[in-house]
Amino acid sequence: MQIVKEAYGEEAMEKLGEAFSASLKSGGVVYLQGDLGMGKTTLVRGVLRGLGYVGPVKSPTYTIVEPYDVSGCEAFHFDLYRVTDPEELEYMGIRDYFSTNSLCLIEWAEMGVGVLPEADLQVTLSLLPKGRHIVFDAFTEKGREVLSDLRDNITP
């Protein structure tokens, strides 16, 4: 299952993230793909805002993970850009972050191949003239349920 959207500007990306959040309340593993500057963190900010978080949301490029306690759910925003070997993630105890109800939003997931769990969803962002092309792909039953719900929560 797949959903394709376009967003023009930071505000539109955040609003898409907010709409996405309504479908993520039961948690899941979401891989965020796209080059530097594509809006992955902006989308995450929208998701977290949609879940009720009001503080600052920054890319965890140097900390690797930022935890957020939102709507009775633990949300974790990972940025694996600086990881040079997936084994580094084992040393930081990454497996402890993944539970049935946690929401794990992972930028640069390819840096953790072999250590990270399978993605329920992958969101791929690419450049359009003056905007972004966003593709949501589901890989698990949970992911398909999220996308089915998302389809009902976003405007065409």
| Domain of residue 12, residue span | 2-151
In a domain? residue 156: no
pTM > 0.85: yes
With bands split at pLDDT 50, 70 and 90, how would you rate the model's confidence at 155? Answer: low
Over range 31-55, report the average pLDDT: 92
pLDDT of residue 16: 92
Q: Is the pLDDT of residue 142 over 70?
A: yes
pLDDT band at 87 (very low <50, low <70, confident <90, very high): confident
CATH label of the domain that carries residue 139? 3.40.50.300
H-run or E-run covering 12: helix 10-21
Whether 124 maps to a domain, the answer reads yes
Question: What is the dihedral sign for C-alpha 50, 96, 139, 31?
Answer: positive
Q: Which carries the bigger pLDDT value, residue 45 or residue 70?
A: 45
| pLDDT of residue 156 exceeding 60 | no
* Mean pLDDT of the 103-115 span: 92
Domain tally for the chain?
Answer: 1
Q: How large a percentage of the chain has pLDDT more than 90?
A: 54
d(CA 21, CA 153): 10
Mean pLDDT computed over 99-113 = 91
- Domain for residue 115, yes or no? yes
Residue 108 covered by a domain: yes
